[in-house]
Chain A
Amino acid sequence: MRSGMRSTIPEHSPHEMTALDLYQQMLLVRVLEEELQTLCDTGEGSDMHFNRGQEAIAIGVCAALQPTDFTVTHHRMIAHAVAKGVPLYPLVAELLGKADGVNGGMAGEMHLRHPASGFMHSFQLVGTALPVAAGLAWAAKYYQKIDAIVAVFCGDAATSNGQFHEGMNLAAVQKVPLLVICENNGLAGNVRSPVYLPTKTVAERASAYGIRAVTIDGNRVDEVFRVAKEASAYVREESQPFMVECNTTRISRHKQGQGDLRTKEEIADLAKRDPLLYEEKRLGLGLQEKASLLAATRALVQEVVTKVRAAPAPRFPTP
């Protein structure tokens, strides 16, 4: 593993990723969000939704996809965009509302689209991603008649929304190649799951639509990758939807600028399950290696962020 270590961030080639690549991708998301957080604190960035503690899911799943596959996701999307290969500079420019953004600064994190890398849409409104992704998968199968599948991400809280259920129903009756990835962090903003989830698992909900589902530890990138690889092969070969419920821990608050009702002790406890810690141990990374990877990632992110901060703001579009 360590012999393949590189001193710089790898170019995106998700289909050839090594375990170390996956770690570096997670680290990139972590460092990028930390950098963005300082900008959110000063008001230069709007109140973003960070993935701290959940990175393994986006990175593991997207690494298991083909480059020609698509993703649709929700508001907590920075990890998904990085994982799907949205180029870093225009991604950050979009997140910070600059003209150089992938959508000219008009979309921000919660309406972002970059079809060139298969990142088809993020949605602010919880649940919307499901039926849109089902329609996208429908069009891939029946209209474009291509081999691509769609991976859609949703939180566990989204599964209490009608759009989730309408989307699952549509995916099942239309028999579309849709990989549903549920990031189960047990939270809806600051609200805990007993308020919205009457079942023990989210995976149980899939059975109502005849959709097969499994539940895994979403904080282990190797497990996420392995299961996503198998699940995506099933979705592609059978041309049927499938759900993977990834249990995870959101360490960051729901969004910047908002309080967190959890105690420091609880958050510290969750941080023990940090997917980066797990992967560092698994890879046997030493202190020095970790430090040099972190330094390289920080240098890259800071270079991008510095460039973005100096970039021009967009103009208000004419109606």
Chain B
Amino acid sequence: MITATATPFLRNRLIRDAIGRAIYEVMKEDNSVHLFGEGSLVKQHYDAPLIEKDFADRVHTLPISEDGDLNFAVGASLLGVRPVIDVITSDFLYRCMDSIANTAAKLNFVNSPGEKPKTIVIRSEFLTVGPTTGQRPEAIFCHIPGLNVVIPSTPRDAYGLMLTALKTRGVTIFFEDRMIADAETRREDRDTEDGRFLGKAIAFGHAAFRRESSQATLTICTYGLMRQVVEKALDVQEALPAVAFDLIDLRTLYPIDWGTLALSTKKTGKLLIIEPDVQYGGVGAEIAATIAENNPVKVARLGGPRQTIPASSYLRNQSMPTEEEVLRAIRHEIHDPRA
């Protein structure tokens, strides 16, 4: 029997707090960092009270005109402002496709001698709860020259990658995956412990091995929310002795860490890409093609159907691979008879 899934993910705070901490840290040392967005100050009140307390004058609440707001922030960047523009749910990225793809993404391509490249961070969140409520448009942005695409899967990565986004010359689309469960986030993945800050800057284009073994016979590559789902599936699968895996969490989809993918697949000869987005035309297709073109590696993909995300909470889980599907795909790759 199918049961309705509640929306506890809206209460997930760890990654959101980590992002807020990173922005706050950079705001302390760099007064060119300004926040823009709809209800921006109210959002800081709830999500990053330190920013509201210390830097309210650098938080700018703009009208509900996402495309214009983003162009506005680009205009400010021409005089040295480092804007963080929060468009809230990812559906609004489509609203400002023009200002992102035509204005912001081209900004650093056209430079005058002596002019410094601009830094712009565009924040947005995945929800995956309805046709236009937190879709997953990450692949589209990977296709556009001039953009970095970041999707952290842990609070520590979120902190480290946001530090980098704010210090990198360039335009970064920084996604926050709201469905990554706090309750399942391991202690070592947090950016704080007993009030101590553990996060450090993480360079773009550096994937993380979530699991690594010299005996690995399968490379699993994933990102965002799917990392947690894959880890749960692996916990089940590893009840089988003698089968080891490399699990690569991409962290940034552009630039992508081809070196780590090549290193692991050279060892295992087999790559399974698991993505939370629509599989058709997705990031997995690019990874599969590039790896297969250049290495003798067998590649397989598991992603979501090319289907609009239904609003019904009874159907929500079917928009992306479930733990059972992930488990089945892994077993299939390692010729486990239970596949």
Interface residues of A (CB under 8 A from B): 72, 102-104, 106-107, 111-116, 120-121, 123-125, 128, 130-140, 143-144, 162-163, 165-167, 169-170, 173, 317, 319
Contacts and interface: CB of A to CB of B under 8 A. Distances in A.
B94 to A, nearest CB: 14
B65 A169 contact: yes
Interface stretch (B102-110, B174-182, B213-221, B306-314): B102-110
Contacts of A136: 75-76, 78-79
For the complex of A and B, the 4 pairs showing the least CB-CB separation, nearest first, are A135-B75, A166-B68, A135-B72, A131-B71
Nearest to B70: A131
Contact of A106 (B98, B102, B110): B110
B63 A131 contact: no
A140 B71 CA distance: 16
Interface residues of B, number: 31
Given A111-B106, A140-B79, A135 B73 contact: yes
A134 B72 contact: yes
Contacts of A121: 78
B110 A170 contact: no
A163 B68 CA distance: 6
A143 B102 contact: no
A134 B68 CA distance: 10
B145 interface: yes
Contacts, number: 113
A318 B77 CA distance: 24
A72 B115 CA distance: 17
The listed residue with most B CB atoms (<10 A of its CB), out of A114, A125, A169, A170, is: A170
B112 A102 contact: yes
A169 B75 CA distance: 15
Given A138-B76, A163-B98, A131 B111 contact: no
B32 interface: yes
5 contacts: A115-B78, A124-B102, A128-B71, A135-B76, A163-B71
B47 interface: no
A48 to B, nearest CB: 17
A21 to B, nearest CB: 26
Contacts of B99: 128, 131
Given A135-B76, A144-B79, A167-B71, A173 B63 contact: yes
Contacts of B102: 124-125, 128
Contact of A138 (B65, B72, B145): B72
Contacts of A167: 68, 71-72
B59 to A, nearest CB: 12
A132 B81 contact: no
A35 B109 CA distance: 28
Contacts of B69: 131, 166, 170
A81 to B, nearest CB: 13
Contacts of A173: 63
A143 B63 contact: no
Contact of A144 (B72, B73, B80): B80
B93 interface: no
A143 B109 CA distance: 24
Contacts of B149: none
B21 interface: no
Contacts of A140: 79
B227 interface: no
A103 B110 CA distance: 6
Contact of A143 (B80, B106, B110, B112): B80
Interface string B99-131: 100110010011110110000000000000000
B67 A143 contact: no
A111 B75 CA distance: 14
Contacts of B63: 166, 169-170, 173
A139 B71 contact: no
Of A124, A125, A132, chain B has the most CB atoms within 10 Å of the CB of A132
B34 A132 contact: no
B23 interface: no
B256 interface: no
